[in-house]
Amino acid sequence: MSCRHARSVTTARSICSRLNGRSISTKAAGSRTVSDLKSRYKVVIYDCDGVILDSIESNYIFYNLVMEYLGRAPLDRNDLDARRVLHTYSFNNVMEYFFAGDDRREEAFRFAKTIHYRDLMPYMRMEDGFVAALDRLKGNTALAICTNRATSMEMIIEDFGLTGYFECVMTASQVANPKPHPEPLLKVLEHFGAAPEEALFIGDGEVDMLAAKGAGIPFISYKSHLPALACIQHHSEIVRHVFME
């Protein structure tokens, strides 16, 4: 799997960036510091939507723009199945879910690809405590992203000040089978030369849980109650799962 330095990435399909030097917060629970502790894992992998970013509103806006273009009614926000799909599935799979059998399906795909990520950025926010958690982890374990986003991750990393944290960013555009298939996570393992038990994956959706199960990677559920090694509500909680006395 090809990788290159983050500052030399030229397309949204570039998947990896070398770690840049950045100061690391050394405060840990109690009187111990992160530098005193040993990581249980070679790499910690994060999903993006719902874990790094609260992006549900931007996703509704995106797909409602497509609905409006086709003259269809806005999405029903009480439809939990639709909410789950648009927030966790890859773009192609979401479009198939909403537009399979529609005579204007191809037109919907073409229009959707004209909507620019930066028009949606005001409707996204970073999850509380995320960067602080990265600062504790970086330098002690490798960091990666595995997302069903396809073409916007480079801009997200830049716009939210995350450049230099992640050595590998795996998107749906780089695999034949996005999550819930394990292929994206297996490619992350391949990049780091890591065994499944040497990685930890943090996700919020069923597609994340199933991908982790298929890859044999320990899974932590973020703000959800999926079967997992642990369920956490705040990014600060991840530190105690990564480091051991």
**Residues 54, 199, 3, 177: is their CA dihedral positive or negative?**
negative
pLDDT, residue 36, reads 65
- Full-model pTM: 0.84
* 142-146 and 43-46 strand pairing: parallel
The CA angle 113-117-121, to the nearest 5 degrees, is: 155
pLDDT, residue 244, reads 74
Distance CA 61, CA 163 (A): 26
Beta bridge partners of 33: 27
pLDDT, residue 34, reads 57
pLDDT, residue 3, reads 40
pLDDT, residue 164, reads 98
- Domain 6-54+124-244 sits in CATH 3.40.50.1000: yes
Per-residue pLDDT of the chain (245 residues; tens, 9 = 90+): 434 333 333 333 333 433 333 333 334 444 455 556 799 999 999 999 999 999 999 999 999 999 999 999 999 999 999 999 999 999 999 999 999 989 999 999 999 999 999 999 999 999 999 999 999 999 999 999 999 999 899 999 999 999 999 999 999 999 999 999 999 999 999 999 999 999 999 999 999 999 999 999 999 999 999 999 999 999 999 999 999 76
Cα dihedral value 49, 55, 56, 62, nearest 10: -110
The half-sphere exposure of 140 on its side-chain side, counting CA atoms within 13 A, is 23
**Residues 83, 84, 87, 91: is their CA dihedral positive or negative?**
negative
pLDDT, residue 37, reads 79
173 Cβ contact partners less than 8 Å away, ≥ 6 residues apart: 12, 13, 150, 151
Distance CA 71, CA 63 (A): 12
Q: What is the pLDDT of residues 197-244, one digit of tens each?
A: 999 999 999 999 999 999 999 999 999 999 999 999 999 999 999 997
Distance CA 41, CA 240 (A): 12
61 sits in which H/E element: helix 56-69
Distance CA 130, CA 92 (A): 28
